[in-house]
Amino acid sequence: MGLNLEYIHVSKFYQGVPVLRDCSFTFPLGSSYAVMGPNGSGKSTLFRIGALLEEPDRGEVRFSVGGQLLPQDLHLRRRVTMVFPRVGLFNRSVYQNVAYGLEIRGVGGREQAAQVERVLELVGLAAKKQQHALTLSSGEAMRLGLARALVIEPEVLFLDEPTTSLDPANAGIIEDCLLRLRRERQMTLLLVTHDPAQAWRLGDALLRMENGRLVAADLILPQECLT
Amino acid sequence: MRKPLLILMVAVVVLTASSVAAEVRIRCASTTSTQNSGLFESLLPIFEKKTGIKVDVVAVGTGAAIEIGKRGDADVVMVHAKELELQALKEGWFVHRHDLMYNDFVIIGPKDDPLKIRGLTSAVAAFKKIAEKGGKFMSRGDKSGTNIMELAMWKQAGVDPKGREWYLEVGQGMEKTQRIANEKRAYTLTDRGTWLATKDKDKLDMAVVLEGDPVLFNQYGVMAVNPEKYKQVKYREAMQFINWLISPEGQEAIAAFQDKNGNRLFVPNAT
Amino acid sequence: MDTVVSGFASAFRMISAGNPELLKILFLSLKVSGLALVLATLLGVPAAAAVALRRLPWRSLFLGLMHTGMGLPPVVVGLFLYLLLSRSGPLGFLELLYTPSAMILAQFILTVPIVVSLAHAAMVGVDPVVRLAALTLGATPLQEAATIIHEARYGIMAGVTAAFGRVMAEVGAVLMVGGNIAHYTRVMTTTIALETDKGNFDLAIALGVILLGISLAINLGLRGLQRLGRVESGVILWD
């Protein structure tokens, strides 16, 4: 049963200034969406609202499973996660950053270690397990941010500009990782990017934002592939 | 992260509890000069051994000690200001006042005695002379027993020293006052106990210029805070302390007390 | 001058001999200030976290109070507490006056504002993205607070150390509510005051030296801890 995300007439204002204007869209489980648009067009805000980190001023965001509306509690928030452009790593080791999501869910010991290992392998940081997170390069930091998010096996993943400031090598690692995930798991992926080629590589559909509005939604792949 | 926190909290509770331990303690408000003489260090262990009661001494000026008693924050008060004690007794703040012991006051001054006080036998005459000659005099000015005695002397001499340029009020304890008198080559009234205990230690360039006049005898009294004023006062234990002090055993202990230099500082005179 | 020199000499003799009187006073000082600080931290850090993380209506007033509280004159705190705890005062029934417990309470009042203000500042200084990261990874409000406290740990520790230094050094409050009772409520600072008054420079200087020594040790310890943190993180802010 898939977790569906719906934006219904969502508007958001920051100190009177509209940041999101009447956005509506449905994201059924399992698809990947690339979101493009100029800086300041509201993409990050859209994501934060979808990730249940902020509340819309008008309209609402709905999560449902098989037609049944889900309450927006901690339980739901734990099925959805986001990686920020500046990542926001914790002042601890690489291992501890990834383990965080498991720690707070009460997963410890060997189970925790195994899952952390697996995910670190995925992003190519297994060797740096004990290194302090804040000593990583920006590429490694983003990969760690991704690992941190993936270890909790989210059903909806928001990635806000994951590769914008990364070199091709690091960007490549992240893209490979995401492609693998798409094959292995049912996960809705929303991704902010400025690279149309990346959008094509990673996304099923493309959304454009301008001035707080969703102005276009192109299908990059044929419609039948969308569930 | 949880476990060390738990251990810490248990430790806090245990330590806090230990500082609110259940032993019998009574509080005696007394004066700094009495405490500094070392009398309590000598007497209290004897009393504690006999009765198991610990006596905590809060040492402040005489006026403050009586005030503490009036506020009920002490169980026993031991000072040397008979007039004030009797007054407070009359007002109902205290009960069971007894004369305890005495030491005497002496007038000290610069070794070379510029005002030629030496040779006089009357304390009042000495004070008169100091006022006439306008020699420097250091007063404690802190409502202590010594201060009260000093003011009584001025009164008897018919002199009002307040505001005169040779009269300086220090507002401090006896030892400090002595040291300042030493610096300024002034005369001052002090109790023999403090004088003997500190003259060598503080290297005072002073000497006793007048002593022995009975009017200078410094009577110590002890009294219990009235339990009717404050229910929480440990009246029974306070009375145990007072009764011991005035008993032959206690009086002997007071007489036997010697300071570091072997001086007997107090003469017991409980009736 | 030779009073001072001979004072220092006997001071070192006393310290190396482990004079029992000295040790008793030292232990009491550490116990009183230590307990006050532990209590202030256990209460103050969560309070600071609550204020840092939630939009509480009385936030400004509370923080204003804490900032002002950092500069409270110890002797004034002592005086007010004295009046409260006196048997003729409202809280007299607690029988706390002239006990170490009253001293701990007084020093608690002095340390809480420092701990809260500095912990709060440290937490507010944590990158907001880090807080969002904790939330998006599924932290409960309690876990969120714990995470922010952990992130701000060095700043918080500095605050705790500053508070400890302050109360180890104060004399006004402990004197007023403790009464400087021999073997019971006499701490290093009050003993220094008393012994100096009596002209016993030996003991006074010995205690003064120890007091300074403890301050130094604590500060060096803190620097060590902070250095540990800095090296790990590789953040180039030289201290």
**How far is it, in rounded angstroms, from Cα A43 to Cα A213?**
9
CA dihedral defined by B133, B136, B140, B145, rounded to 10 degrees? -30
Q: B188 near B137, Cβ under 8 Å?
A: yes
Q: What are phi and psi of B206, to 5 degrees?
A: -130, 170
B271 pLDDT higher than 70: yes
The 3-state secondary structure of chain B reads CHHHHHHHHHHHHHHHHHCCCCCCEEEEEEEHHHHHHCHHHHHHHHHHHHHCCEEEEEEECHHHHHHHHHCCCCCEEEECCHHHHHHHHHCCCEEEEEEEEEEEEEEEEECCCCCCCCCCCCHHHHHHHHHHHCCCEEECCCCCHHHHHHHHHHHHCCCCCCCCCCEEECCCCHHHHHHHHHHHCCEEEEEHHHHHHHCCCCCCCEEEEECCCHHHEEEEEEEEECCCCCCCCCHHHHHHHHHHHHCHHHHHHHHHCECCCCCECCEECCC
B173 pLDDT higher than 50: yes
Would the CB atoms of C138 and A101 count as touching at under 8 Å? Answer: yes
CATH number attached to the domain at B24-102+219-268? 3.40.190.10
CA distance to partner chain C, nearest, from residue B121 (Å)? 30
Q: Write down the mean pLDDT value for chain A.
A: 90
Residues B142-154: pLDDT tens digits?
Answer: 877 788 889 989 9
**Could you tell me the CA-to-CA distances from A222 to A33, A188, B247 in Å, in that order?**
14, 18, 111
Which pLDDT score, from 0 to 100, does residue A153 have?
Answer: 93
pLDDT band at B15 (very low <50, low <70, confident <90, very high): low
Of all residues in chain B, the percent with pLDDT exceeding 90 is 46
Would the CB atoms of A134 and C134 count as touching at under 8 Å? Answer: no
Q: What is the DSSP letter of B271?
A: -
**How far is it, in rounded angstroms, from Cα A101 to Cα C138?**
7
CA distance to partner chain A, nearest, from residue C138 (Å)? 5
- Taking contacts as CB-CB distances below 8 angstroms, the residues of chain C near A91 are 150-151, 153, 229, 233
A142 pLDDT higher than 90: yes
Which pLDDT score, from 0 to 100, does residue A122 have?
Answer: 92
pLDDT band at A225 (very low <50, low <70, confident <90, very high): very low
Taking only residues 190 to 219 of chain A, the set having a beta carbon closer than 8 angstroms to any beta carbon of chain C reads none
Q: B79 near B67, Cβ under 8 Å?
A: no
Domains of chain A: 3-88+155-225 (3.40.50.300)
Interface partners of A (3+ CB pairs, < 8 Å)?
A: C
Q: Write down the mean pLDDT value for chain B.
A: 88
CA distance to partner chain C, nearest, from residue A85 (Å)? 9
- Taking contacts as CB-CB distances below 8 angstroms, the residues of chain B near C101 are 16, 19-20
Write down the domain spans for chain B: 24-102+219-268, 104-216
Q: Average pLDDT, stretch A68-75?
A: 91
Q: Which residue has the tokens 């902070």?
A: C226
CA-only gyration radius of chain C, Å: 21
Of all residues in chain B, the percent with pLDDT exceeding 70 is 93
**How far is it, in rounded angstroms, from Cα B70 to Cα C215?**
40
Q: Where are the beta strands (DSSP E) in A155-211?
A: 156-160, 188-192, 205-210
Of all residues in chain A, the percent with pLDDT exceeding 90 is 73
Q: Average pLDDT, stretch B10-22?
A: 62
The domain made up of B104-216 has a fold known as: D-Maltodextrin-Binding Protein; domain 2 (3.40.190)
Strand partners, B222: B78, B98
CB count within 10 Å of CB B102 equals 17
pLDDT in tens, chain C (239 residues): 666 677 778 778 887 887 788 888 889 999 999 999 999 999 999 999 999 999 889 999 999 999 999 999 999 999 999 999 999 899 988 989 999 999 999 999 999 999 999 999 999 999 999 999 999 999 999 999 999 999 999 889 889 988 998 899 899 999 999 999 988 999 999 999 988 877 777 778 888 888 888 888 877 877 777 676 655 555 555 55
**How far is it, in rounded angstroms, from Cα B47 to Cα B53?**
7
**How far is it, in rounded angstroms, from Cα A163 to Cα B123?**
99
Q: Average pLDDT, stretch B88-113?
A: 93
CB distance from A138 to chain C under 8 Å?
Answer: no
Q: Out of B8, B41, B71, whose CB is closest to C86?
A: B71
Give the 3-state secondary structure of residue A140. helix
Give the 3-state secondary structure of residue C187. coil
Which pLDDT score, from 0 to 100, does residue B3 have?
Answer: 61
Which pLDDT score, from 0 to 100, does residue B39 have?
Answer: 93
For strand B76-79 and strand B137-139, is the pairing parallel, antiparallel, or unpaired?
A: unpaired
Give the 3-state secondary structure of residue C116. helix
Which pLDDT score, from 0 to 100, does residue B144 have?
Answer: 77
Report ipTM (2 d.p.).
0.91
Top CATH class, C24-229: mainly alpha
CA distance to partner chain C, nearest, from residue B12 (Å)? 7
Give the 3-state secondary structure of residue A33. strand
Which pLDDT score, from 0 to 100, does residue B202 have?
Answer: 83
Strand partners, C235: none
Under an 8 Å CB criterion, which residues of C touch A? 127, 129-140, 143, 147, 150-151, 153, 229, 232-235
pLDDT band at A223 (very low <50, low <70, confident <90, very high): very low
Taking CA B30 as the corner, what is the angle to CA B106 and CA C22, rounded to the nearest 5 degrees? 100
Give the 3-state secondary structure of residue A54. coil
B24-102+219-268 shares its CATH topology with B104-216: yes
Closest CA to B161 of B183, B191, B136: B136
B85 pLDDT higher than 50: yes
